[in-house]
Amino acid sequence: DNTKRDFLRPEPVLVAHASGAWSRAHIEDWKDSVQAAIFAAIEDVCGEKIQLREGHTHRWRYAAPTQTTGELFLADKATGLHICGDGCGGTRMESALTTGWLLAATIG
């Protein structure tokens, strides 16, 4: 994905995500071995050897909430405190974005 953040690169950029189950099984593994395993899986899917120019591996230990609020956002009218995110409305990253938009529209 070469169109995000503050850079544009002429060559393609690939972002790979592992499943939650795989990530939990390998959370304590060394970063280099995690990156090598994911890269091997990418080559397997692509069916060819790929030249890695640069790699970055990040493991989010708390990437997905184990419980959600069941609400799209939380609001305390007495304090004016509002909370949204992937712990509200769902467990995926998209929930953080959509609950943020909904909360912003609600409070104007």
33 vs 15, which has greater pLDDT? Answer: 33
What backbone torsions phi and psi does residue 81 show, to the nearest 5 degrees? -80, 130
Rounded mean pLDDT of the chain? 85
53 and 7 fall within a common domain: yes
Q: Is residue 69 part of a domain?
A: no
pLDDT(7) > 70: no
5 and 57 fall within a common domain: yes
**Residue 40 parent element (H or E):** helix 31-46
Distance of CA 71 to the CA centre of its chain: 21
Determine what percent of the chain falls in helix, strand and coil, rounding each to the nearest 5. Answer: 35, 5, 60
Structure tokens that stand for 3 in this block: 């169109």
Domain encompassing residue 81: 74-107
pLDDT for the residue numbered 1:
45
41 and 94 fall within a common domain: no
Q: Is residue 67 part of a domain?
A: no
pLDDT for the residue numbered 50:
84
12 vs 103, which has greater pLDDT? Answer: 103
User: What does the pLDDT look like over 15-26, one tens digit per residue?
Assistant: 888 888 899 899
What is the pLDDT averaged over residues 71-90? Answer: 90
pLDDT for the residue numbered 6:
58
For the chain, what is the domain count?
2
